[in-house]
A and B are shown apart, each in its own frame.
Chain A
Amino acid sequence: MKELLWLIVALPFSGALILALAGRKLSRLTCSIIGVGTVSLSAGLTILAGLDFMGNNPTGKPYLQVLWRWIDVGGLSPDIAFHLDAVSLTFIFVITFVGALIHLYSAQFMWKEDGFSRFFTYMNLFIGFMLVLVLADNLLLLYLGWEGVGLCSYLLIGFWYKNPDNGYAARKAFIVTRVGDTALAIGLFILFMTFHSLNIREILNAAPGTWGIGSGIAVAVALLLLGGAVGKSAQLPLQTWLPDAMAGPSPVSALIHAATMVTAGVYLIARTHVLFELAPIVQTTVAVIGAATLLIAGFSALNQHDIKRVLAYSTISQIGYMFLALGVGAWSAAIFHFMIHAFFKALLFLGAGAVIWVLNDEHNMFKMGGLRKKLPVVFWTFLIASGSLAALPLITAGYFSKDKIIWLAYVGDKGSVVLWLAALIGAFITALYTFRMVFLTFFGTTKAEPSARPGTGMVIPMLILAFFSFAAGYIELPENMGHVVLFSGFIEKTLPATATIHLGNSTELVFQLIAGLAAISGLFVAYKYYFNKPYPAAVPERNALQNFFFNGWDFDFVYDKMIVTPIVFLSRIDKDDFVDLFYKGLASLARALNIVLSASQNGRVRWYAMVIAIGAILTLTLIFYP
C-alpha cells in the first residue's frame, strides 16, 4: 500500500479543487461528503500504508516515492518526492485521522453558516499542504507546505471576514509567522549554499562531516531554523498570534491551531535534529524557550475568561513542553507528546466548540456553568481530555507523555534541574487552569440554558478522540511500570534515542510521584477556588498583575511600541520624499497626456480614417526620405 502514498496527499487537494471550482453549485450535503470523504479516504489509506510500513519493514527503512522533478535550475533540482519514515508516518496519521474526525464534526458545526463550501475548500487544502509539509523529502517542498498551511491558517482565521476584528487577527497571525518564515528561508539559503542541495537526507548525512560541533555556521543555521519553528509553533518570542487566532471557527482551532499546524515547528526541529545536535547552544536555547513559553503561557491561561483563549494558551504551553523535550534531546518523547496532545487538545477544542455552539456563541466561562447535566456526553469527553491535559497520574494518556518529558528534562544528558523545575511548575499550573475551566463551565449553577444539543455528527468524533485521549498513553509506559516502548521503539528507528544518566527505577518513582503530586495539587487548588463558587456571570475583575498575565505578559504592547510604532512613524515621515516626487511627476505627466489623447478619441469614424491616411503619408515619407 505504500505505493499509494501520493494518493494520501492528492485526495485532499482534489477535494479542495472540486469544492473551489464547483462548491457554489453543490448542495451542502454534497460539499460535506466531498470534504469529509476525501480526508477520510486519506486517513484510511494512511492506516493501510502505516500497517504496510510497520509490518513489512522491521528496520524502519524509509520509503521514498519520487513523483517528478519539480525544478531544475542552477544546480537546484528538488523533486516532488514523498519520504515516509516513522516520524512522518506518525504525523500523517495524526493529520489525516484527527483531520477526518474534525471534518466530520465541522460538517454539522458549520451547517448553518454561510460559506459552507468555502470552509471545506480551505480545510481540505490545509490537510493537503500539511501532508506535503511532513512528507516532503526536500526542504523546498517542506517550505511549500509550510507556506501553504500558513495561507490556509490565514484564510480560516479570517473565515468570518465580515467582522474586521477577525481579519485583523488573521493578518496578525500571517505577519507574525512571516517573521519566522523569513528566518527559515534564509536558513534554507545557507543550507543550499553549503550543500548545493536541499534534500533532507543528503543534508543530514553531509552536515556532521562539513561542520564541526558548535561551529558558527551550524549555530547560525540552527538558529534560523529555530526562528521558523518558533514562528509556526507560537513559542517565545513569536507566540502572540495564537490567542488571537481563536477568531476562527472552533474546528479550525482544533485542527490547525492545536493539533497539526502549530506542531510543524516541532516536526521541523525533529526532522533536522542533526543540525541542532551540531549546535548544542541552540539546542539548549530550544529547551529554554520551551520552558519559558510553557510557564508564560500557563500563567496567561490562568487569567483568561474566554474558554477558547484558555485552550489557546494551553496549546502554547503544551508545545512549550514539546520544545523542552526537543531541547534535551528527547526526540521520541516530543513526538509522543505531540500525538497525545493532538488527540486531547483537538477534543478539548471540539468540546469547547460544542459548548459555544449550544450557548449561541457565548465564550465567557463565567457565564456558563452547570452544563454537566445538560450536556453529559460533552462533559464526560471534555473531562477525559482535561484529565489528559492536566496529566492526572496513571489514568490518562497525557500523564505518560508529559511525565516522560518531565523525567527526561532532568535525566537527559542535556537536562538540568532548572528545566525540570520549570516543567514541574508548568504541570501544576496546567492542572490548575484546566480544572478551573472544567469547574467553571460544567459545575455550579446553570447561568445559560443550552439552545440545542450536539448531534451525532459532532458527538462521534468526540467519543473517538476521548478513547484515544485515554488509551493512547498505554503504548508507551515508563521503565518501572511495565516498560512498554512501542512508540519510542518505533520512532527511534528514525530519530536517535535519548542519552540519559542512569538513575534507577526507585529514583524515577520519586520523580513520578512528584510530577503526579503537582498535577493533583493543581486539581485540588482549582477545586478549592472554583468548584461551585458563585462567581458573577460577567468578565471577572482583575488586578494589575492578573491583567498583565491576561494580556499574555504584555508582549503585544511591547511589540507595538518597539516595532510597529517606529515603523509607522518612519513610513509617515517618508511619505513625501523626493523619490515620490519623481513618481508623482510621472503620474501627472501621464494624466496630462491622457487629457490630450482622449480629445482625439471623439468617436468620429471619419476623423479616425483621416488620421490613418495622414499616418500612411508620414510612414511613406519616413521610409523614402530618410
Chain B
Amino acid sequence: MNVPMEQGILLAAILFCLGLTGLLVHRNIIYMLMSVEVMLNAAGLAFIVAGSAWGEADGQVMFIFILAMAAAEVSVGLALIIQMFKKFRSVDINKASTMNG
C-alpha cells in the first residue's frame, strides 16, 4: 500500500469543495445541513490521512472530536430546522432572512 499522501488529501479537498458547492447552491436548509456534514467529514478525512502518513494516532483522535462536534451540531441544527418549519411553514433559508442579521 503506497498511495501518496497527496492523493488522500486531494480526495478530502474534492469532497470539501463538493460540499461547499452544495452549501452555496441549495436554498433548502436540509440540503445545506447535509453539505456541511460532507465538509466536516472531508476535514476529518484530511486529519486521518495526515495521521496515517506519519503513523500517529493524533489524526484519529482529532477525527473523533470532529465527530462529536458534528453530532452536537446536527442535533441542534435539526431542532432549529423543526422550529423554523413551524414558524415559516417552509425549509427555504431565504424565508428566514426576515430576521435581518
Which A residues contact B (CB, under 8 angstroms)? 601-606, 609-610, 613
Contacts and interface: CB of A to CB of B under 8 A. Distances in A.
Contacts of B99: 603
Contacts of A603: 96-101
Contact of B93 (A601, A602, A605): A605
Interface string B65-99: 00000000000000000000000000001101111
A605 B96 contact: yes
Contact of B24 (A601, A602, A613): A613
Contact of A609 (B23, B94, B98): B23
Contacts of A606: 23-24, 27, 32, 93-94
Interface in B13-44: 20, 23-24, 27, 32
Contacts of B23: 606, 609
The list of the 6 closest CB pairs from A to B, nearest first, reads A603-B97, A601-B101, A603-B100, A604-B97, A605-B93, A609-B23
A613 B24 CA distance: 9
Given A604-B94, A606-B27, A606-B32, 18 more contacts: A601-B100, A601-B101, A602-B100, A603-B98, A603-B99, A603-B101, A604-B93, A604-B97, A605-B93, A605-B97, A606-B23, A606-B24, A606-B94, A609-B20, A609-B24, A609-B32, A613-B20, A613-B24
A613 B35 CA distance: 14
Nearest to B23: A609
A604 B24 CA distance: 11
Contacts, number: 31
A609 B23 CA distance: 8
A217 B94 CA distance: 76
Nearest to A605: B93
Interface size class of B (residues with CB under 8 A): 10 to 19
A610 B100 contact: no
Nearest to B27: A606
Nearest to B20: A613
B17 to A, nearest CB: 9
A613 B96 CA distance: 21
Nearest to A600: B101
A238 B45 CA distance: 78
A358 B96 CA distance: 65
Nearest to A601: B101
6 contacts: A601-B100, A603-B96, A605-B32, A606-B23, A606-B27, A606-B94
Nearest to B99: A603
B26 to A, nearest CB: 8
B1 to A, nearest CB: 30
A606 B20 CA distance: 11
Nearest to A603: B97
A7 B17 CA distance: 70
A606 B24 CA distance: 6
A609 B98 CA distance: 17
A272 B20 CA distance: 77
Nearest to B17: A613
A568 B96 CA distance: 53
Contacts of B100: 601-603
A602 B101 CA distance: 6
Contacts of B98: 603
B21 to A, nearest CB: 10
Nearest to B94: A604
Contacts of A605: 32, 93, 96-97
B93 to A, nearest CB: 5
A596 to B, nearest CB: 15
B11 to A, nearest CB: 18
B94 A610 contact: no
A610 B20 CA distance: 9
Interface in B39-74: none
Contacts of B101: 601-603
Contacts of B93: 604-606
B24 A610 contact: yes
